[in-house]
Amino acid sequence: MRVLLIHTEFFRWEPKEPAGEIRDEPNRGEAKNALVAFLTVEEGDVPDDGYLSKIVEDIIDVANKVKANSIVIYPYAHLSSRLARPYISRDILNKIYDILSANAKGFSVLKAPFGYYKQFEMKCLGHPLSELSRSYTPETAHKPGAQQPKQTPDVYLILTPEGDEYHPAQFPLDKYPDLKALVDKEVFKKELPGGEPKYIEYVKRFAFDWEPMSDVGHMRYGPDATVMMELVEDYAFQVAKSLGIPIFKIRGTNMFKLSEKPIETHAKLFGERLYVVETDVDSILRYAACFQQFAMAKDWVISYRNLPFGMLEIADSYRYEQPGETVLLFRLRRFYMPDLHIFTKNLDNAIEVTYKLHEKIFEEIRKIGRDYVSLYNITAEFYKGHKDYLVELAKREGKPVLLRILPEQKYYWVLNVEFHIIDELGRPREIATFQIDVGNAMRFGIKYIDEENKVRYPVIIHTAILGSVERYLFALFDTAALMERRGETPKLPVWITPVQIRIIPINREYLGAALDLADELENRGIRVDVDDREETLSRRIRDAEREWIPYIVAIGQREAASNIFTVRIRGKGQIQLSRQDLITTIEKEISGFPKRPLYMPRLLSQRPSYKQL
Ligand SMILES: [Zn+2]
């Protein structure tokens, strides 16, 4: 940061016209006997309290020495050629103003607006200390322990279904191994068990991988992976609709301007890990669907009769994760979120909706053979007024839950529930979530008209019932890893496997019979392919097994004539099935789940080799 200090007899300014999209409210001002601090925020400057306090301390020191009455913070972009991005500059200058106002006792403190061409007038006093310039970087200037706002620590409690509260250290955690894993991580900050998870090897068979030509944490999805992703997306919509409230599916953009006040505020309340795009207007990539849905909902005319309703988008979402922290299919810089926002009349209505939501969230994870252990992040005030609600949720879970009580509302929610599975290596992994948001409706101007014709702001629930698309798939693969650990054949649910049945003609003579059976299966919405390659039968069966294909059928003379097949079912061995029974068996497995066609050519001879088996 470059600082030019000028002691003036008088100083006045007036904004003339905007210089950019990121700007403060325009104000004019003047001061007598003023120390004016012309400040240029440079690349590398950070809104760190210790750093900015050091700069403020020097400004106050000079103001004392020259016996000024006032101090003026003056955003001035001309002292350096390496300017910081506007959104960072404005943030830092406002922070300097706040720190200065809190510490410059006896001075009147003023600040000229950021983001304008400004006219100014001054009379410099011309004594030895009247003109000084300084340069700071976060590495060279730091005031230890300065200005750290006093923070009351978060309190952790274990709440039982009977309504008893325990300090985590006093609770018999050994009886609840999953909860213990969560408490170890969240409360005692214990190192998680390490090791390479098994699922990383599995997912490569399905053509999930990193995209090395992009930023870290970005994935590529081959055809197998793509059909799985899109099936989960379809399923997320289906599950949302099963909540029994009206659901609207929408699409939007992924980039939002930081110059829009509600965007900037919500982004800050979200916290760390914003993915900023530096274009001519500074923007952020959305971290979920909130921005788009709120920006849309504010333009809808909503009556109380419409509430509650949900808006769903399969949102490409971006989080600026640390490069060393990214994990394939789990912690990504870019991922897909089937993000549902439910607009409700008020807090009571929201609470009512969350009971159904909570039930769905547990129903879905149990469908894949897993269970959640829950972390309820909750503001102290909300907990005080709603302990019964939390006890009811613990009761529905049938086991104790972990609460993290925040002394103040630091984020946009009053309640944020994280549902974790304990993975194959014993580590808690957050999958599903819901949050109750009491501030964004007003911030974005989302309104509804109540029974008495009054304008009201809905309470908004943010939720991902299945979690992000990638994390839901992670949970399926992790479940397969557990099967392998138990000595079983690892497998996926049939509805989501990219190829549900493979037909192998034992030689070219039976290709016609194979294609005929494939046609019939395909007409029933079953994803079927045909291995017509010039390979031995055993080689082709082995390849199908490596691809985890749930049903494998070879067709030769006997099968073609009798329509009775020897079917290899993954994890179950071989059985004889008639053509009709084969179809019925697969249909039964996938009934109630979404269907999509095969995302690659039916004939294996037409496929390049593109995945690691
Ligand atoms: Zn949201």
For residue 351, the tally of other CB atoms under 10 A from its CB is: 18
Q: How far is CA 525 from CA 93, 462, 580, in A?
A: 60, 33, 15
Same domain as 591, residue 466? no
pLDDT at 281: 81
Domain boundary among 419, 442, 477: 477
Answer yes or no: are the C-beta atoms of 403 and 397 closer than 8 Å: no
pLDDT in tens, 353-404: 999 999 999 999 999 999 999 999 999 999 999 999 999 999 999 999 999 9
Whole-angstrom Cα Rg for the chain: 30
Residues 6+ apart with CB under 8 A from 264: 87, 258
For the segment 195-208, the average pLDDT, to the nearest whole number, is: 93
What's the number of domains the chain is made of?
A: 3
Instruction: Report how far ligand 1's centroid is from the alpha carbon of 340 (Å).
Output: 7
- Nearest Cα residue to 10 out of 28, 39, 47, 35: 35
Distance of CA 131 from the midpoint of ligand 1 (Å): 50
Buried b (16+ CB within 10 A) or exposed e, 151-161: eeeeebbbbeb
Q: Is residue 106 part of a domain?
A: yes
Q: Which of 477, 512, 529 is the last residue in one of the domains?
A: 477
For residue 108, the domain's CATH number is 3.50.80.10
Torsion of CA 183, 355, 413, 338, to 10 degrees: 90
Ligand 1 mean position to 253 CA, how many Å?
Answer: 14
Kindly give the distance from the C-alpha atom of residue 289 to the centroid of ligand 1, in angstroms, as a whole number: 6
CA-CA distance, 29 to 288, in Å (whole number)? 41
The rounded Å distance from CA 364 to ligand 1 centre is 20
Choice between 263 and 312, residue whose per-residue pLDDT is larger: 312
Task: For 17, list phi and psi in degrees, rounded to 5.
Answer: -150, 155
468 and 505 in one domain? no
Distance between Cα 154 and ligand 1 center (Å): 23
Burial class (CB in 10 A: 0-12, 13-18, 19+), 145: exposed
Say whether pLDDT at 266 is over 90: no
**Å from CA of 512 to ligand 1 middle:** 52
Checking DSSP bridges between strand 29-40 and strand 70-75, what pairing results, if any?
A: parallel
Work out whether strand 401-406 and strand 373-379 pair parallel, antiparallel, or are unpaired: parallel
Q: What is the pLDDT of residues 555-585, one digit of tens each?
A: 999 999 999 999 999 999 999 999 999 999 9
Calculate how far, in angstroms, residue 318's C-alpha sits from the geometric centre of ligand 1: 13
Query: For residues 589 and 437, what is the distance between their CA atoms, to the nearest angstrom?
Result: 39
Do 376 and 525 reside in the same domain of the chain?
Answer: no
C-alpha 223 to ligand 1 mean position (Å): 29
Q: How far is the CA of 447 from the centre of ligand 1 (A)?
A: 17
Is residue 237, in this structure, part of any structural domain at all?
no
Looking at the predicted structure, is the pLDDT value of residue 435 above 70? yes
Per-residue model confidence (pLDDT) at position 148: 52
- pLDDT score of 539 more than 70: yes
Question: Is it the case that residue 143 has pLDDT exceeding 80?
Answer: no
The Cα–Cα gap between 474 and 337 comes to: 14
Cβ contacts of 439 within 8 Å, gap of 6 or more: 269, 412
Q: 566 C-alpha to center of ligand 1: Å? A: 50
CA of 445 to the centre of ligand 1 (A): 15
Please check whether residue 323 lies inside any domain of the structure. yes
Percent of the chain's residues with pLDDT above 90 = 82
Token pair, residue 579, equals 């053509």
Give residue 352's domain range: 155-188+245-477
Q: 288 C-alpha vs ligand 1 centroid, how far in Å?
A: 6
Task: Let me know whether 27 and 131 are in one domain.
Answer: yes
Element (H, E) at 404: strand 401-406
Strands 551-555 and 564-569, how do they pair?
antiparallel
**Do residues 460 and 402 both lie within one domain?**
yes
How many A from CA of 295 to the centre of ligand 1? 12
Mark which of 415, 447, 477 sits at the end of a domain.
477
pLDDT score for 297 = 97
Residue at 233 is within a domain: no
Residues 53 and 116 reside in one and the same domain: yes
For residue 264, tell me if it sits in a domain: yes
Range 306-324 average pLDDT: 94
Mean pLDDT of 159-176: 96
Cα(287) to centroid(ligand 1), Å = 9
Half-sphere exposure (Cβ direction) of 116: Cα atoms closer than 13 Å: 18
pLDDT tier, 272 (very low <50, low <70, confident <90, very high otherwise):
low
- CB within 5 A of ion ligand 1: which residues? 288, 290, 462
* Residue 273 pLDDT grade (very low, low, confident, very high; cuts 50, 70, 90): confident
pTM recorded for the entire structure = 0.85
Q: Would you state the pLDDT for residue 343? A: 98
Q: Is residue 445 domain-shared with residue 320, that is, in the same domain?
A: yes
Q: Which residue(s) pair with 275 in the sheet? A: 285
The DSSP string of 456-479 is E--EEEEEESS--HHHHHHHHHHH
Instruction: Give residue 468 CA to ligand 1 midpoint distance, Å.
Output: 12
Angle formed at CA 413 by CA 410 and CA 415, multiple of 5 degrees: 110
254 and 323 co-located in one domain: yes
359 CA distance to ligand 1 centroid (A)? Answer: 20
Q: What is the pLDDT of residue 150?
A: 61
Same-domain check for residues 456 and 532:
no
pLDDT of residue 147 exceeding 60, the answer is no
- The token pair that represents 609 in the structure block: 């080799």
Q: Please give the Cα distance from 413 to 340 (Å, whole number).
A: 15
Confirm whether 488 is domain-assigned.
no
Q: Which residues 6+ apart lie within 8 Å of 442 measured at CB?
A: 457
Q: How far is the CA of 252 from the centre of ligand 1 (A)?
A: 14
**198 is a domain residue:** no
d(CA 64, CA 119): 27
- CATH number of the CATH domain containing 590: 3.40.50.800
Q: Are residues 521 and 585 in the same domain?
A: yes
Whether pLDDT at 323 is above 90: no
The two tokens of residue 92 are 């830092």
Answer yes or no: do 398 and 292 share one domain: yes
Cα of 286 to ligand 1 centre, how many Å? 10
Question: Measured in angstroms, how far is the CA atom of residue 381 from the centroid of ligand 1?
Answer: 22
3-state secondary structure (DSSP) of residue 539? helix
Please give the single-letter amino acid code of residue 239. V
Report the separation in Å between the CA atom of 22 and the middle of ligand 1, taken as the mean of its atom positions.
24
**Mean pLDDT, rounded, of the chain:** 94
Do 568 and 431 fall into the same domain? Answer: no
Question: By the 8 A CB rule, do 527 and 498 touch?
Answer: yes
pLDDT digits (tens, 9 = 90+) for 110-125: 999 999 999 999 999 9
Give a yes or no: residue 236 inside a domain. Answer: no
pLDDT at 282: 83
How would you label 577-602 residue by residue, b for 16+ Cβ within 10 Å and e otherwise?
Answer: bebeebbeebeebbeeebebebbbeb
